[in-house]
Amino acid sequence: MDYDVKLYGSAVLKQPAVPVARVDDAIRQLAKDMLRAMYRHNGLGLAAQQIGRREAICVLDVPARRQGPNGADIVENPEVPMPLVLLNPRITAQAGSETAQEGCLSFPDIYVAICRPRQVTVEFMNLEGAAQALTVVGLLARAVLHEIDHLNGVLLVDRMSTAQRVALAGKLRRLKRSATT
């Protein structure tokens, strides 16, 4: 099924996810559909609420190699196979902190500096129903935290400083008006 990404203002974005009780063909198909929607919108991650669903599932595809802002090659988490599907994810450890620009498919063309842990350990269930744990750093850690925020009904705007919200007030209002529930 083809899904559109829900924009800021859609009620489902604020609703917490419902845990996935068991992995079946419907969940596997949902993961495929979510990946397709994420790729279509050029995203690095997507949570179920962003397509109007409530299951505790998110998908990510963060390249291990990318170019940094100064042109230097950055290699992070090369051992983590992509794409990554996390069912019922939860953070069990975190370390360090890093402030970086962050965007969101539900907030198109809005990027803000957000401080997040630099390293996280996430426990989750994979598409075979097996319990897994991964420790990741950098951009992938940020993406995991961002998608888990979505699963908890926490949005990018909730992580913004007051000054950032004031500076983006016009864009946020227009976005909210254009959202469909």
- What's the pLDDT at 181? 58
CATH of the domain at 84: 3.90.45.10
Residue 167 in any domain: the answer is yes
pTM across the whole model: 0.95
Domain count, the chain: 1
Q: pLDDT of the chain along its 181 residues, tens only? A: 889 999 999 999 999 999 999 999 999 999 999 999 999 999 999 999 999 999 999 999 999 998 877 888 999 999 999 999 999 999 999 999 999 999 999 999 999 999 999 999 999 999 999 999 999 999 999 999 999 999 999 999 999 999 999 999 999 999 988 876 5
Query: By C-alpha distance, which of 59, 27, 39, 34 is closest to 127?
Result: 27
Range of the domain at 93: 11-178
* Whether 123 is catalytic: no
Residue 108 in any domain: the answer is yes
Pair 45, 146: CB distance under 8 Å: yes
Residue 2 in any domain: the answer is no
Residue 6 in any domain: the answer is no
- What's the pLDDT at 110? 95
Q: Spot the catalytic one: 76, 79, 123, 147.
A: 147
